[in-house]
Structures are given as structure tokens and as C-alpha cells.
Structure 1
Amino acid sequence: MNEHPGLPMASVAPAPPYGPPPQQHKTSGLAIAALVLGLAGCLPLAVLPAIILGIIAITQTGQGKRPGRGLAIGGLVAAGVWTVGWVALLGNTMGNPDNYTASPPGASCAAPPSGHANACTLKPGDCFRQPAVTGTFTSVELTLCGDTHDTQAIGTFIAADGPWPGGGELKAEASAHCQRIMAKNVDRPRLDAAGVRADLSYLKPEREAWENGVRTVFCTIHTPGAELIGSVLAPGADLAVPTG
């Protein structure tokens, strides 16, 4: 069979389409912001904005929309990781109440000094300065919640009857009740925004008062080594005795 040499093929560029070139969308600024805030989740105030901006950015990005969906998802993932870390940290510091006692020196619940309160006169919502001791003290110095203080009573419960719960025997009961009261009454964003370590604690009657029928235990938010200005209670907090 005779073969004919082939002719070289010339490449032909396709003709440009009619009309203006397609518009190039810029990467979503919200997606970038969500990623930056998500990576900065070591600051508690950055986590919530990262989640909000990330959700908005996802709706604005994707196929046929502005680029940046991957950045938005990355910001949400980072914020989620930081959220889990903060919850775990707060669970460790706030899930194991410290045991403090505030009781009058005698069984009669005598009135405390002016400007002070004890286990018989303290009320949910009261703000005060806690003595710098771990153990027994007879009263606490009340303050206005608008002034600097380090502790606030967030609610109260009535402990179960029984022998004097010395040592840490009341701790499990206080932990369950105070965790419930904290979830109900404390404005967590307000507390987180304060940027201080906060401990869930409780004030219980001392032995003499207990043996004379005093069973009121106060749940408190205490910021050791730091001071708060303003109440940590959520609007409409339940201040009944007992709480809840």
C-alpha cells in the first residue's frame, strides 16, 4: 500500500467567547476573619465571633459563589476545638467546688458585725470579699456588686439531714446542686469576658450551727487572686431560698 506523507497539523487557538470576561470573585473577607478568629481561640472572646462569621461565610462561599469556603470551615473547626478545650478547662476548675465554711461562732446565729454576713444572714446574689483562708471563717465582708469583690453567692440549697458532714463529705452533694444552680443562674459570657479564673465554691454552716439545724449551703463563684466588678448573675436569675 502506498503511504502518503502526512501534512503537519497546525494548532489553532479557540476563538475567545463573545462578551466581557467572567468576573473574578475575591476571597470572602468573612471567611478570612473566621479563620483568624478561630485560630485565636486561646482568647475566649474570639471563639463566638469565629463561629458566627464562619457560618455566615459558608453561606456566601462555595461553587458558583465567592471563594473561601475552606477558610470558613477551617475557622469553624478551629473554634470548635478551642470551645472543647475551654469547656474542659472550666469543667476542671468549676466542677470540683472548694469547701469553705461561713458560720457564726455560736449556735444562736448571732448577728455578724456591721457590713458582714454569715451562713445565717447571707442571701443569694450578695457580693462580698472572702477572707484569704481555706477553711473556717465566721463571716464575710459584704460589698456592692458594682464595687470590686471576689465572690458572689449565686444560689442556695438545703443539705440533706444527717450527722455533721466534716471534711469533704458534703462535697459531692454540693457539686451536684451548685453545678445545676450555676447552669441556671450564671451569665457565662459575662464571666468569661472577665478573663479571670473562676472557681465554683460553696459556703456551709460550721459544726455548731449544723447541729442546731442550720442546713443552708450557699453556692458561690469565687475568683482567687482577682477581682470582679458587676454581678455574674444572668438576667432573671432565681434567687429563691432554696434555689430551683
Structure 2
Amino acid sequence: MSYPDSGSMTIPADPPQERKTAGLSITALVLGVLGFLVITIPISIIIGIVAMVKKTQKLKVLAVIGIVLSILWIVAYGAIIAGGVNLFNNKIANADVKVGDCIGQDKDTGLVTKVTCGQGDVGKVYAIPVLPEGDFPGSTQVQKAAEKACLSASGKPADESTISYVSPSEALWKLGHREVFCAAKTK
């Protein structure tokens, strides 16, 4: 049996749909995680922005996370650089301290800095003996040697209420600092 030919009829197809992918978003996230490789930071930010703008990207939150991670890496590197500059400046300050200066001690680094007398100072420097070269003998030995050097330099019997000293930490010792800052407390 045959059907009458009613002509050919075409049904319009749906317009082609763009496939949504997450490739750029995932790439931005991975590069953000790998921010310790410095070069990945700007690439992650650029790819993340492109992924957020592109309409065909899904999981845009991954791109945002990648950008945030990259920004956190920038902040971390900035802090590391600022800390290094601060350490370098304080090392120079150690070298600038001389007899007669009032000193303070940074609680975090142990480095000595010049301060205004009477304002949170350790005391007024009366001697700066240098401990002998060699491997770090341990904190107790360094403190004993520093105390002995400061007491002999003061020419007075020990009076812990008026004489103090700042001895080098192991980290400073490894950097070549052997100076002991002997100070008399200011009134």
C-alpha cells in the first residue's frame, strides 16, 4: 500500500548548542595551586579571567578559586621579600650599634636595633665583645661565654638588675654574627 505524496516537509532543527566545558576553569585552578612556580601566577589570573568571561565555561567557581590562590601567592611572596629586606636592614643595624648606643632586641628575630634610651631598651651598650669562631656551641654555652665577656668588660661584680647582654642565636651565629651586646640598664 502506498501513501499519497504530500511533498517533503522539513522540520527545522534546533540551532547548534555550544558545549559547555570547564577546561579553562580547571586550568586556572591548577595553575593557581602551582603558584610556587611563580610563572604560573599571571597565567592563572589571565586564564581565570577569560574563563569567567566566556559564556561556554561551566564551573566558573574554579576559575575564581584559581585567581584567589594566585593572589594569595603574590601576597606570600611579598611577605617573604619584605621579611628578607627587614632582616637585611636589621643586620646592617647590628653592625651600626656602637658603645654608648641604647639597644632593643626584636623578639621574633633576636636581632639588635638602636632605640631611643629609656623607651623599651635593653640598656646602654658599654662593650661589644666578639665570641670566637667555630661551630655553634649551643645556646647555654653561648650565654655563659656572653655573660663572662660582659662581666669582665664591666669590671664590676655581677648585678643582674643593672647589667644585661644580648648574645647571638644559632641562626645569627650561622650568618657570622658573634657579637655580644653588653648593656647597662638605663634608669
TM range (shorter): 0.3 to 0.5
Q: Which has the higher strand share?
A: 1
Larger Rg, first or second structure (1 or 2): 2
**TM-score normalized with structure 2 length:** 0.41
**Higher-RCO chain (CA-CA 8 Å, sequence separation at least 6):** 1
Q: Which protein is richer in helix relative to its size?
A: 2
